[in-house]
Structure 1
Amino acid sequence: MVQLVDNLLERVFPRIRRRPHLAYPLAIAIFVIAVCLRLALSRWLQGNFPFLTFSLAILLSSLVAGTGPAIVVAAGAILFSWYYYLPDIGWTLDITTIVPLTIFTILASFIIAIVHLLNRKVEGLMNERARSEALLQDSALGELHLEQLNVELRHRLKNTFAVIAGLVSQSARYSPDVRTFAQSLSGRLSAMGNAMDLVATRSFVGASLKELIEETLKPLVPPGDRRIEMEGPDTIIPGEVASALALTLHELGTNAIKYGAWSEEGGAVGVKWMLSKLDDDELSFQLDWDERGGPRVDAPERRGLGTTLIDNGFPSAQVEREFHETGVRCRIVAVLKQPTTRRTRGRGASTI
């Protein structure tokens, strides 16, 4: 019984009060019932309690339908009681009519005002409880999300240190001197750092493909107009793919500076990529690297670390390179798995 009353006061009645198209008809129905009861009990209430059923109707309509509908019920009760149950003098006013009507009006006003304050207090307490519950839920979800981020961060750091160790070892192996080693390693680590930064800004969900390509190539583009053209759609790619793609693009750009289109003033590079959906969580990815306006480029006589990173650095990708008189053309084709997403209370919180 207590639970039923709480449910009516906290949920049902506030919803009715917020809908005038329900509140006013309900108040009128309450008034009609009060009139019928008053007529049925007229033998017993005629002299002693002429406004009893109307007082109850005003109380009930204030509680259920709200202040506006209760005022309508009170006005109707005053008019009905004035005509039928006060001294039989029609619609004229005298002291025998004014006094009971005034008393009833004051009583009805007190009932409406008190119930109005009660309704506001109940709704205020409900809103406060809802805010407290939301804060508790956000706190719990925040702790869960933080723990997931910590797990993901540990995983990322472990993989990153493994990749860095491999880059250091291989760069030292293929570098003829310390200066060359430092330059090549610095550029590769910078490309990885940009990729990791883009992944971290999205709570380790992944990186924006368009931002990754732009941020990786921007430090490499020589000064001048129209040295690079980039075109393609955007999506979110996983962190491991972002690091591998950043290294691949860095090697292509470095080779273009040393031997290809960017080694001459008029040379330019076009980078275009396409995406097509395979299923709900997989995309077909194709990137074309096209150099033009540079010197004739021949296939390398030996495979260095840069060549290895271009051909094999992108996981599960097919890489095709062609060497033309104006520069290198490279096509990378791969299948990308899109990160899965979880949502928490209207805010996007995601993980791979």
Structure 2
Amino acid sequence: MRSLTGLIDEFRQGWQGISRPSLSFSIGFSIACLALSTTARWLLAMIRPDVYFTPYFPAVFFATALGGYRTGIATAVVGGGLGVAMNFGDAPSNFFPRAVLLAIYCIVSGLTIWGVEHYRSVASRQREISKRLIREEDYRKLVVDELQHRLKNKLSTVHAVLHQVLQNQPQVWASIDHRLRALAATDELITKVDGDGCDIKDLLLSELGPYGHVRFNLNGNRLLLPAKLAVSLALLFHELATNAGKYGAFSAERGMLQVSWSMIDDRLNIIWDETEGPAISAVGAPGFGTKLLESALGPFDGKTEISFLKSGVHCTMQCRVPKA
């Protein structure tokens, strides 16, 4: 004999349309619905003896919802037969009124069965679509993870090849090495949010963290940067942070950095402000870092302005944040 848990689980799956219940379960459920409806009809007969078929509508609905249209049709036929054959109380025995009520009962029951079955078919299609989308999403994640893994391996390979080629040119290697590491760190952040980009605050913390969290303040709301913009800003932040570590605020004992950002419509405004750093006596010829600062935000309709003040470097960055 089946356990109560098994019966409840079969009822749940049948009611939700996950699977059809067994024939015996459907018949038993239909008989229970008819019995309850007949009991309700007997009770109603104390008030209205001429109620013949109305109590059987719920039985038709629930039997169809659980067992399908075949069970619903069988329940409707049996309910109609009970309504014709059984009398409770002082119900009138006129044939014509009961025949009219039987016709209305058949029409309403047919519409009920059609409506419930149509809903079950729509719900079943939606579940199939949902399952297919879930499978496609899982496959997409698998492909993206594999692609990110291969890109990471390629970046490591490029890093190793350049190190081998430039091992006799330490100055050139030093200028390339930290930039490749900055790109790798940014890729890691982008990967954490499924390739959609990364938060600007996380990007700054990743770049500025090695200098000590007490050396800088970050002011601004959470902002998810698209992947391409995140890579460009990561390079800019890296250049500025490296400059601050060598010559600016981070090279002085009391030096501080404050980075603020805000959004106005689709424009991002970033202010990089160093204080208490060493005095800047002279500015050399523009190098790769300076050229990068000037051109990196060009694809995003942006620009960078840098000023060498007595208190330290002051840099403003403006760009358009592409829509996701």
TM-score (norm 1): 0.53
1:228 deviates by: 0.4
In 1, Cα distance between equivalents of 2:285 and 2:149: 33
Q: What is residue 201 of structure 1 aligned with on the other side?
A: 192
In 2, Cα distance between equivalents of 1:176 and 1:301: 27
In 2, Cα distance between equivalents of 1:235 and 1:263: 29
Q: What is residue 111 of structure 1 aligned with on the other side?
A: none
* Cα pair 1:299 1:323 within 8 Å, conserved: no
Match of residue 278, structure 2, among 295, 298, 304? 295
Q: What is residue 35 of structure 1 aligned with on the other side?
A: 49
In 2, Cα distance between equivalents of 1:326 and 1:177: 38
1:59 deviates by: 4.3
Match of residue 219, structure 2, among 206, 217, 231? 231
In 2, Cα distance between equivalents of 1:305 and 1:153: 33
Match of residue 284, structure 1, among 245, 259, 267? 267
In 1, Cα distance between equivalents of 2:309 and 2:168: 30
- Per-residue CA deviations over 1:232-277 (Å, capped at 9, x if unaligned) read 1222221111011001001100000100111111101111111111
Q: 1:233 to 1:156 in 2, by over 3 A?
A: farther
* Cα pair 1:241 1:315 within 8 Å, conserved: no
Q: What is residue 60 of structure 2 aligned with on the other side?
A: 63
1:327 deviates by: 1.1
* Cα pair 1:228 1:270 within 8 Å, conserved: yes
What residue ranges of structure 1 are gaps of 5+ in the alignment?
1-8, 12-23, 38-52, 67-79, 86-121, 278-282, 340-352
Report whether the alignment pairs 1:181 with 2:178: no
In 2, Cα distance between equivalents of 1:323 and 1:176: 34
RMSD after superposition: 4.7
Paired letter, 2:289: G
TM-score (norm 2): 0.57
In 2, Cα distance between equivalents of 1:229 and 1:333: 20
- Per-residue CA deviations over 1:90-128 (Å, capped at 9, x if unaligned) read xxxxxxxxxxxxxxxxxxxxxxxxxxxxxxxx99xx69x
Report whether the alignment pairs 1:263 with 2:251: yes
In 1, Cα distance between equivalents of 2:62 and 2:123: 23
Q: What is residue 96 of structure 1 aligned with on the other side?
A: none
Paired letter, 1:291: E
Instruction: Tell me: higher relative CO, structure 1 or 2? Use CA pairs within 8 A at least 6 residues apart.
Output: 1
Match of residue 314, structure 1, among 259, 279, 297? 297
Residue range with higher mean Cα deviation, 207-216 or 244-253: 207-216
Paired letter, 1:294: G
1:151 deviates by: 7.6
Match of residue 217, structure 1, among 193, 208, 232? 208
Paired letter, 2:227: G
What residue ranges of structure 2 are gaps of 5+ in the alignment?
1-14, 18-36, 64-86, 92-115
- Per-residue CA deviations over 1:25-50 (Å, capped at 9, x if unaligned) read xx78x95797227xxxxxxxxxxxxx
Task: Report SS of the residue matched to 1:35.
Answer: coil
Report whether the alignment pairs 1:305 with 2:288: yes
* Cα pair 1:274 1:286 within 8 Å, conserved: yes
- Per-residue CA deviations over 1:198-227 (Å, capped at 9, x if unaligned) read 2222222222222212222212x247xx31
In 2, Cα distance between equivalents of 1:338 and 1:63: 52
In 1, Cα distance between equivalents of 2:226 and 2:278: 36
- Per-residue CA deviations over 1:124-160 (Å, capped at 9, x if unaligned) read xx69x957952x32342245446666489869988x9
* Cα pair 1:228 1:269 within 8 Å, conserved: yes
* Cα pair 2:276 2:311 within 8 Å, conserved: yes
In 1, Cα distance between equivalents of 2:154 and 2:292: 17
Match of residue 230, structure 2, among 220, 225, 242? 242
Q: 1:296 to 1:234 in 2, by over 3 A?
A: same
In 1, Cα distance between equivalents of 2:323 and 2:146: 19
Q: 1:62 to 1:242 in 2, by over 3 A?
A: same
1:181 deviates by: 3.4
Q: 1:214 to 1:289 in 2, by over 3 A?
A: same
1:64 deviates by: 4.3
In 1, Cα distance between equivalents of 2:146 and 2:230: 15
In 1, Cα distance between equivalents of 2:192 and 2:158: 24
